[in-house]
Every structure is written in C-alpha cells, then in structure tokens.
C-alpha cells in the first residue's frame, strides 16, 4: 500500500452538512472550544467549501493576532477576500450561515457537537502520529517514538488558563461588565450600580420572606419577564402543581385574573404567542421529591426537545431533597444551596429561588438577613438576596416592601416599596427612599420596645399575684 493511501484522512462528510455547520458555529461562539480544536482540526475535514472558507479565515486570524475575531470582523475579512461576482453561490451560502447562527442557537446539540468533533479530530491526529512512528521505526529512530505519541495525545486539551489580570484589561472592561444577565424587569434593581443588568449567568438569587406572603408570585414575575424578552425559562415547583403555576403565568402575561382564567382561556390562548418570545417549561415535583441531581436529569431530558434554559426557577430550595444525608437540617440546606449555585454555573444560567424567614420576620416591616430561617448558608452562598415583607395590613392595600440585603455585584441595603396584586401577578417596585428606611426602622425599634415592656409588665403582674397569694 502506498504511503499516500495509508495516510488518507477521514472527514466530517459522514456526519452531514448540518453537523459541520454546528461545529463551525461552536468554534465561533465558544472561544475555549476554538482554542482546543484549532490544534487538531484540519480545514479539509469540512466538505462544504463555504465552511472551509469561514473556518480557515477564523483560524488564520488567530494565528496572526493570537485572538479570535468578532463575528462582524470575521464577515468583513471573508467578504473582503471573495470575488463576489464570480463566487455568487459561495457568498450567499456564507451570508445564510451567519443569519442561521444568529437565529438558531446550538441548544441541546452543543455538548454532543463539541465532544464528538474533538474526539474525531484527536483520533485523526493520533492515527497520523502512529503512521509517523512506523516511519521512525523503519529509520531506527526509536527514541522519537514516545515523544511523537505523547505530543499527539496532548493536542486538543483545554487551554483556558484563566483571566490574565494585567493583560486582559480590555476584555475585563468590555465583556465583563454585562455578565450576560437575565433582567428582573424591575428597573430600580436592574440599573447600573445595583444589579447592573439583572442576575448574571452562573449566579444564584434568593428571595426570603414569611409563609403566605407571596414569594412564589415574585418568581413567576421573574420568569414571565424573561419569557417576554426572548429567554428560555425552566420553572420547578415543589409546592403547587405545574397547572397552577401555568395559570399564574397566564395572569402575569395577559393581565387576566387567575379567577377568570378558565372562562377566558380562548383569549389567553390567542394572546400568548404575541407576548412570549422565549420558551417555558414548568415541572412539578412533590415536596422533598427532588434533589439537584433530579433537576440535572430533567435538564438532560429536555435536550431532546432542543431546549436549553437561560433562567432556572426553583420554588423552593428549602423543600428540596439533599443529595447527602445529614442529621441536622441546616447542613442539608447548605448542601442544597451549594449544589443549586453549582448548577447555575454548570448550565450557564441565572437561578432564582425563594426561602422562608423565621418567626421573627413575620411581624416586621423589613425582613433582614438575620431573619433567615434554619441555615445562614442561604445568605452566604447566594450572590443576591432580596427579602420580602408583607404584613396583614399590606395585603389589604396590595403593598409590601422589598429589601436588597445582599448584592455581590453592586450596592445593597436599599428598601423598595412595592405594589403587589397577586390576582394578576403584577408586582412593581418603586425607587429607594432613605427616609422610608429610617422611618420603618424607628417604628420597628419602638414596636420591639413595646413588646419588651409588655412582657416585663406581665411578669411583674404575675410576680405580684404570687407574692400576695
């Protein structure tokens, strides 16, 4: 057999055109993947001429500037090199490809495409290394054999060394500020200096409030706003059924009261397509019927639907099952919250959950961080902590207060008065007013003093009765 025949390489042709497009798309949108595959991929693996043109220009730019081009610059380079008059079809194919990657994200295909493409390319490099070793052995160059194999095996490994503080200033101040956030829909929170756009991907947000105050409605608001603005939402409920949560979304999106939803279902069905630009899946589990691993398995299942969430909502973390057994509940909760934050990072999503406050938080106008129930780890682990107070008098006036107790991204300590209409899940937050905080804290202090005085008076009266017989 001739050497040229022996070294004939395989290609991506058997994977099909759609797969090859996904590989090139993955290279363009994921710089870490591009750095891995550039060492092992051969442009000739692509049997489509337009994909070879795109990937070759992409890699040439990297070799010259040690950085990957933006999509805008890449298109400029490609079209600048093309003879558009003589390569009309090729030009149109490239244009169509860039439109496609803008409107059709990788979704559930991402992991498979990256892993299989890398594996294929690495095998080709290893196969070529083995052919080289045969030649080395024929020429008695035995000492070079081990090095040749070792080099081939090391190709295509993860090359992300981390953020180079001194040399990545531009990157830090261009890409880092946005954090690829999922907005809350409340301008007072999303603005610069506070959340700077919303809750970032890989971040955990927790809303703390007393039982029955309406915390779950806050989660529906967050999900509905994201859904309206083109984000995919995955909502887990461990208290209410998926149907009940779905009705709350109906109310929030359309303004139709939950009580009227059944009679107006035709109108709701007609309205929803124009009011939702993302996709929503709602999955219910019984209380203590799901762990974080359960959620991971479900997310994996949704890949078959080509659904990848941008926002995950868990209602709520306190009644999830820990993947590890602990005697004390506080350690179970700590494990759940740690795993939820890890899930947000692994999936590249923003994740919101709610938690119960302790009894001391039920009669106060500001639920503070020390009112958290069961485990302080809820506060420690979360990136953003909102607390929610809604006394009995507030329910009558559809009002309440939201306190930004913790914020790793920006300022915290702000109190926002809120309008809360649970029937249509309409929640509005108003600008922070320092005077409101001072007034409420003073009222709470006076209330605490009254409680202490009443307690002392009761004890004194009891003492007098006992003393007089």
Pick the CATH number of 181-432 from 3.40.50.300, 1.10.730.10, 2.130.10.10, 1.10.10.10: 3.40.50.300
Q: What is the pLDDT of residue 370?
A: 76
Q: What is the pLDDT of residue 384?
A: 96
Report the predicted TM-score, pTM, of the whole model to 2 decimal places. Answer: 0.64
> How far apart, in whole angstroms, are the C-alpha atoms of residue 27 and residue 23?
6
Q: What is the pLDDT of residue 1?
A: 38
Q: What is the pLDDT of residue 188?
A: 94
CB distance 19 to 113 below 8 Å: yes
Domain boundaries, the chain: 3-154, 181-432, 443-469
Q: What is the pLDDT of residue 127?
A: 80
Structure tokens at 429: 């937050």
Mean pLDDT by 10 residues, the chain (469 residues): 52 83 88 83 86 90 86 87 77 87 74 85 81 83 77 64 72 61 94 93 92 88 95 95 93 89 83 89 94 93 91 94 77 90 92 86 76 79 91 88 92 92 92 66 53 55 60
| CATH architecture for the domain at 3-154 | Orthogonal Bundle (1.10)
Q: What is the pLDDT of residue 459?
A: 57
> How far apart, in whole angstroms, are the C-alpha atoms of residue 57 and residue 175?
23
> How far apart, in whole angstroms, are the C-alpha atoms of residue 127 and residue 7?
8
């Amino acid at each position: 057999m001739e050497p040229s025949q022996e070294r004939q390489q395989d290609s991506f042709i058997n994977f099909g055109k759609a797969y090859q497009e996904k590989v090139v798309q993955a290279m363009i949108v994921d710089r870490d993947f591009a750095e891995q595959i550039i060492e092992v991929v051969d442009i000739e693996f692509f049997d489509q001429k337009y994909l070879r043109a795109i990937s070759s220009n992409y890699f040439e730019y990297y070799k010259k500037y040690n950085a990957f081009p933006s999509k805008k610059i890449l298109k400029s380079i490609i079209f600048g090199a093309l003879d558009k008059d003589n390569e009309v079809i090729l030009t149109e194919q490239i244009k169509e490809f860039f439109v496609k990657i803008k409107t059709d994200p990788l979704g559930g295909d991402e992991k498979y495409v990256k892993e299989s493409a890398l594996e294929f390319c690495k095998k080709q490099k290893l196969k070529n290394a083995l052919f080289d070793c045969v030649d080395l052995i024929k020429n008695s160059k035995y000492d070079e054999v081990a090095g040749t194999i070792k080099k081939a095996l090391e190709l295509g490994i993860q090359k992300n060394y981390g953020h180079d503080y001194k040399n990545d200033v531009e990157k830090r101040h261009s890409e880092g500020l946005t954090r690829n956030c999922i907005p809350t829909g409340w301008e007072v929170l999303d603005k610069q200096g506070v959340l700077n756009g919303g809750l970032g991907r890989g971040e955990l947000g927790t809303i703390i409030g007393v039982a029955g105050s309406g915390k779950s409605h806050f989660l529906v608001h967050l999900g509905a706003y994201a859904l309206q603005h083109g984000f995919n939402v995955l909502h887990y409920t461990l208290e209410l059924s998926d149907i009940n949560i779905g009705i709350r979304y109906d109310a929030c999106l359309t303004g139709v009261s939950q009580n009227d939803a059944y009679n107006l279902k035709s109108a709701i069905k007609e309205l929803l397509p124009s009011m939702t630009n993302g996709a929503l899946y709602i999955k219910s589990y019984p209380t203590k019927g799901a762990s974080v691993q359960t959620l991971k398995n479900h997310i994996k299942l949704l890949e078959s639907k080509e659904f990848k969430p941008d926002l995950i909502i868990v209602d709520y973390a306190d009644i999830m099952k820990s993947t590890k057994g602990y005697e004390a509940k506080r350690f179970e909760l700590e494990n759940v919250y740690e795993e939820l934050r890890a899930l947000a990072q692994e999936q590249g999503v923003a994740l919101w959950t709610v938690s119960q406050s302790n009894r001391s938080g039920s009669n106060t106008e500001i639920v503070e961080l020390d009112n958290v129930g069961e485990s302080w780890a809820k506060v420690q682990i979360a990136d953003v902590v909102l607390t929610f107070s809604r006394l009995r008098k507030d329910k009558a006036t559809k009002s309440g207060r939201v306190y930004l107790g913790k914020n790793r991204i920006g300022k915290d300590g702000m109190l926002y008065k809120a309008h809360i209409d649970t029937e249509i899940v309409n929640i509005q937050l108003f600008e922070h007013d320092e005077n409101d905080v001072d007034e409420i804290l003073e009222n709470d202090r006076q209330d605490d003093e009254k409680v202490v005085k009443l307690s002392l008076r009761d004890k004194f009266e009891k003492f007098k009765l006992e003393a007089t017989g």
